Amino acid sequence: MGKRAAFYTLGCKVNQFDTEAMRELFTQAGYETVDFDQVADVYLINTCTVTATGDQKSRQMISRAHSKNPDAKIIVAGCYAQRAPEEIGKLPGVSLILGSQDRLRVVELVESLSPAQPFLCAVEDLEKATAFENLQAVQESRTRAQLKIQEGCDRYCTYCVIPYARGPLRSRPLSDIHSQLARLGENGYSEVVLTGIHLMSYGKDLGDGTNLLDAIRQGQDIPGIQRIRLGSLEPQLLSDAFVQALAENPKICRQFHLSLQSGSATVLRRMARRYTPAEYAQWVARLREAMPGCAITTDVIVGFPGETEAEFQQTLDFVEQVKLCRIHVFPYSPRSGTPAARMPGQLSKAVKSQRAHILAQLADRLEAEYLAQQVGTCQAVLFEEEKHGGVEGYTDTYVRVWVPGGKQVLGQLAQVQIQQAETGRLTGQLIE
């Protein structure tokens, strides 16, 4: 029987991309992929360190893998591994610590382990990292794939450890983006999600004027690629020219994740976010004017150090004002080594949980309102899977849509008359 490998991912879409790319490397090396709860010869945990919960969950998954098979080789990769290799190295069962570099060598490194050398820490100093690691594009669904085009961050928001865990800016070369997109088109993928740690900084490190629009244009003439979706965008780097270029590109999906983090100007200053709520609202207005019906989603941190009731109310009022259609709510989690962790006015867990609950309720209502607005419209849906006697897929605004029957449109774009809004999705009928 061949060797078996199991994988577990914590955190963001970039982490999901990295895991799937490493899974493919193991598959190419002859490993069978199994579920994480099964007995495997190798367990790979790709960790997250954005919050303390991410660190804790990473340790739990390492323990679970060791309990499942004490003789297995356990690989710990990702942001938590990059930040705390000494801490992870003390955990039972850990064989290889990889961090946020050298993922292309993961199979080689794990197979280099032996009874004489059962443990290896391969974490590199990211300050020296200059080249983009050329991991291959990966499948997200039957019709959609992810392509990471950018790595690293240089923004240093006061609450965030990502610049330390991911290192400096590195961009995938345009020629490689083009070849990856061409391969995906040939393999039948209709939609590609361009991801990165700080996507709007794409090309900045290249020093030749290359930017994110140049990366997007690589998919312009690729046969088969009908949609290009963008990962998280930093709002302060949007420009009128950028927005106009997106609006003129028929392949661009009208869903934009603009990181907000707070609707209070004073909290944003303490976060070092480099924009005001008023400026954020202007960028949202620009996108909606250029692309009517577009979906604006975001992240918000509640309970930041010193956040008063008045500042929290400002966030609630602002979110209500701009009508964001989906919000990921995060209670603030202090990260050692960041300026925010040393700030006075650290709030209790109870206060942060209460505020997260209040904002989440508002977020649910705003999402329901956005979905209700779609009833009666005609939407192009890329159908991905059979479900409950019908088929389900996504609009370009990344809203789930279900229709009865419809097997003939699986893997295709089809027009749907939206008839009803439900929790988290729309339902309708195919337009013949």
197 shares its domain with 64: no
Type and span of the H or E element at 30: none
93 shares its domain with 144: no
Asked if 413 and 190 count as a contact pair (C-beta separation under 8 A), the reply is yes
387 shares its domain with 369: no
93 shares its domain with 242: no
355 shares its domain with 383: no
pLDDT tens digits, the chain, 432 residues: what are they? 679 999 999 998 899 999 999 999 999 999 999 999 999 999 999 999 999 999 999 999 999 999 999 999 999 999 999 999 999 999 999 999 998 988 999 999 999 999 989 999 999 888 878 889 999 988 888 899 999 999 999 999 999 999 999 999 999 999 999 999 999 999 999 999 999 999 999 999 999 999 999 999 999 999 999 999 999 998 888 899 999 999 999 999 999 999 999 999 999 999 999 999 999 999 999 999 999 999 999 999 999 999 999 999 999 999 999 999 999 999 999 999 999 999 999 999 999 999 999 999 999 999 999 999 999 999 999 999 999 899 999 999 999 999 999 899 999 999 999 999 999 999 999 997
Cα dihedral 146→148→154→158 (10° resolution):
30
Q: Identify the CA nearest to 165 among candidates 59, 23, 261, 51.
A: 51
Contacts of residue 3, defined as CB under 8 A and 6 or more positions apart, other chains included, come to 30, 31, 32, 41, 42
Task: Tell me if 131 is assigned to some domain.
Answer: no
The Cα 378–Cα 376 span in angstroms is 7
Q: Identify the CA nearest to 242 among candidates 299, 290, 304.
A: 290
Task: Tell me if 83 is assigned to some domain.
Answer: yes
**CB-based burial of residue 294 (10 Å sphere; 0-12 exposed, 13-18 middle, 19+ buried)?**
buried
Residue 330 CB neighbours (<10 A)? 19
Type and span of the H or E element at 398: none
CATH code of 405's domain: 2.40.50.140
The Cα 92–Cα 361 span in angstroms is 41
According to DSSP, the residues that pair with 170 across neighbouring strands are: 151
Type and span of the H or E element at 340: none
State which amino acid sits at residue 227.
R
Q: Identify the CA nearest to 70 among candidates 111, 39, 114, 107.
A: 39
**Residue 106, domain extent:** 4-124
Task: Tell me if 132 is assigned to some domain.
Answer: no
Number of residues that this document lists for the chain: 432
The three-class DSSP label of residue 280 is: helix
169 shares its domain with 268: yes
270 shares its domain with 327: yes
Asked if 359 and 378 count as a contact pair (C-beta separation under 8 A), the reply is no
CATH code of 222's domain: 3.80.30.20
